[in-house]
Amino acid sequence: MIMMAGEKSKILIFGATGYLGKYMVKASVSMGHPTYAFVRPLKPQPYDSPKLQLHREFESMGVTVFQGELDDHEALVAAIKHANIVISVLAIPQHLEQYKIINAIKDAGNVQRFVPSEFGQEVDRVRGLPPFQNVLQNKKKIRRATEEAGICYTYISANSFAAYFVDYLLHPHEKCEELTVYGTGEAKAVLNYEEDVAAYTIKSANDPRAANRVIIYRPPGNIVSHGEIV
């Protein structure tokens, strides 16, 4: 797929209805990219169900939604042929399902950049205890498969999601009188807001300088301890 000068890249997102996927779709649309979402077939459900409402929201934003299964190779290839860039935001249990996306990208032959589902620690530099180490290993497997397939990639290390962990650690909506502080509360972490992670992922996926590179989101102002956010 050859792009004309000034033309916006076309972005296909897997896992678009998931936690981070919603932010990714909105970031792509807000930057003017023709945006596509590959999602599981929608089962019959109430008109006001959150999943159905999200589908309608995507369509109102101009997003083209493809419904299909990751096991359907032909459907994957057909969807991928619409895009220059493929971004996967699949959840942890589905990480190894990305082998199917990689195979479809190879057969489609038009993708200029693939961003696999990572968005956590830089997996080639850290080790963890089970089951976290198993998550890291699966991400490494997808990295190596992407590289062996000769697909141009960008790996995103976003550390921790700020809104998710602030809610988990502080329970701001519950008006708790007491909070649990882990350890001394002095250990530092990098907390990046989900909207920012999505925005910089879209920018990185379109940046020639990020081709075949690891991008680490680590703004100094976002490095905080549990005690500091309390």
Active site residue 139: yes
The dihedrals phi and psi of 206, each to the nearest 5 degrees, come to -100, 0
* 21 residue type, one letter: G
Closest CA to 105 of 140, 154, 150, 69: 150
* Residue in 26, 43, 139, 188 annotated catalytic: 139
Please state at what angle helix 132-148 crosses helix 98-108, rounded to 10 degrees.
10
Residue 35 burial by CB count (10 A; 0-12/13-18/19+): exposed, middle or buried? buried
Distance separating alpha carbons of residues 119 and 135, to the nearest angstrom: 12
Q: Which residues are catalytic?
A: 139
